[in-house]
Amino acid sequence: MRKLTTIICLTIAVLFGGAGVSASASADYQKGWTAANSGDFATALREWTPLAKQGDTRAQTELYGPVTHVRDGDTIKIGPIAVRLEGVSAPELREKLGQQSKIFMRNLVIGKIVLCRLNGSKTYDRFVGVCFLDNKDIGATIIAKGLARDCPRYSGGRYKKLQTASAKRMIKLPKYCRRKTYR
């Protein structure tokens, strides 16, 4: 419950951050990061909340905590916060490989601490970002396993070379992944 409360509070800090960063922000951020890495989320919260309120983008755009739920191959939850993996297109649960994709992701991340770098956008009820487990991009991992595809509109093509031939054959790429965007 303590971790869940911490994550919720970090989310509130993200949503209500202000402008301007103090001179000691870097040291405070590092203290929070060290605490979070050792599992002391209460200390991380104490260090990061003021930074988020002051406008420190590191405290506003990074989400760190245990994965509590996997919706499908490209959406995880950290506490109550849903995160859509940026640039990853996994099949829907009712589609071919959809269940396998979800099971793979669940086995990979459930209960483990991940770091998600959010890009500031939302889709439906989900924040969007690139998430890491042990410094490895979990989106890259599921694509390399052949259970998801690169969504170049949102990835910029960074996962293109990781796609497997079988995934290209079996997983239909949604139209929204193919449309050009001007960011």
Q: What does the chain come to in residues?
A: 183
165, 121, 117: which is closest to 139 by C-alpha?
A: 117
Over the chain (183 residues), the average pLDDT of each successive run of 10 is: 48 42 67 74 72 66 90 94 95 96 98 92 88 97 98 93 96 85 47
Q: Kindly state whether residues 81 and 46 are assigned to the same domain.
A: no
Whether pTM exceeds 0.75: no
Going by C-alpha positions, the residue among 162, 70, 65, 80 that lies closest to residue 116 is: 65
Contacts of 183 (CB under 8 A, 6+ apart): none
The CA distance from 48 to 21, in Å, is 12
Same domain, residue pair 15 and 88: no
Give yes or no: residues 88 and 34 share one domain.
no
Domain that holds residue 69: 63-178
